[in-house]
């Protein structure tokens, strides 16, 4: 064939020697593998992180470790078995120390009946309201999402909108977007202007363009003024 150079006999012999060496190595490795007890290959390595590393920290009062230990007992991971009582004990200790993720789980435990607790909707909502008032900017958004879910018997879109608004005024963009969805109503210009300003606060350019497409120049100017007012912390 054009361009094909037949390898020399010496090269062929060198290739054969290398191939023989590789085959010999594979045979030895295969023999060694067969000699190893099967249990070495089938038994999963133990993971005792929760019991050996996290629990000592939790016992010394580390609120993050207490929360992680509660989750480990809840799901039966990290070298511990599922234990609803232990999970609840450590979760409560972390929540009592005002660790927000634990406080969220505690409120949900009452709201949904989790961690082996009896569902208590009134208590769950009360815990969530306290957390939304006192917690981080993310807490009111999380609470609003639970109130905004129509499949929940305690759904309350009006209260959800109020918590979205509160979080948006603290700088939460997603909350601003959700609040805009709640107040947007087809038809009335005032509703469209207000919703458009909140969409702008939430950086939802698609919705801003959608609403401004049907506005006059004067109305778009009002949107810009209202958005600037909101960004300054106005109500």
Mean pLDDT in residue range 119-128: 95
Tell me: pLDDT of 27 over 50: no
Residue 113 in 3-state DSSP?
coil
Mean pLDDT in residue range 172-188: 93
CB atoms within 10 A of CB 140: 26
pLDDT tier, 20 (very low <50, low <70, confident <90, very high otherwise): very low
Mean pLDDT of the chain: 83
Compute the residue count for the chain.
235
pLDDT given at position 47: 66
Tokens for 125? 């909502």
pLDDT given at position 221: 96
User: What CA–CA distances, in Å, run from 194 to 10, 166, 172, 225?
Assistant: 86, 16, 17, 11
The pTM score is: 0.72
CB 180 within 8 A of CB 195: yes
Mean pLDDT in residue range 132-154: 93
Mean pLDDT in residue range 149-161: 95
* Residue owning tokens 């007992």: 73
pLDDT given at position 154: 93
Closest CA to 227 of 189, 179, 195: 195
């Amino acid at each position: 064939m054009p361009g094909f150079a037949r390898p020399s006999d010496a090269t062929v012999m060198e290739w054969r020697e290398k191939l023989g060496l590789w085959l010999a190595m594979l045979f030895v490795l295969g023999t060694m593998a067969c000699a190893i007890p099967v249990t070495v290959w089938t038994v999963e390595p133990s993971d005792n992180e929760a019991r050996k590393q996290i629990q000592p920290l939790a016992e010394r009062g580390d609120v993050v470790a207490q929360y992680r230990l509660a989750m480990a007992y809840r799901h039966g991971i990290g070298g511990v078995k599922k234990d609803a009582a232990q999970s609840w004990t450590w979760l409560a200790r972390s929540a009592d120390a005002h660790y927000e993720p634990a406080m969220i789980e505690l409120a949900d435990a009452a709201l949904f009946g989790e961690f082996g607790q009896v569902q208590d909707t009134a208590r769950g909502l009360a815990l969530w309201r306290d957390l939304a008032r006192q917690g981080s900017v993310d807490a009111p958004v999380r609470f609003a999402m639970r109130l905004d879910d129509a499949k929940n018997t305690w759904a309350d879109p009006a209260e959800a909108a109020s918590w979205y608004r509160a979080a948006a005024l603290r700088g939460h963009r997603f909350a601003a977007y959700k609040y805009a969805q709640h107040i947007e109503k087809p038809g009335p210009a005032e509703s469209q202007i207000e919703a458009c300003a909140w969409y702008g606060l939430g950086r939802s350019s698609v919705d801003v363009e959608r609403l401004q497409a049907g506005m006059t120049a004067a109305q778009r100017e009002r949107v810009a003024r209202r958005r600037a007012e909101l960004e300054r912390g106005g109500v």
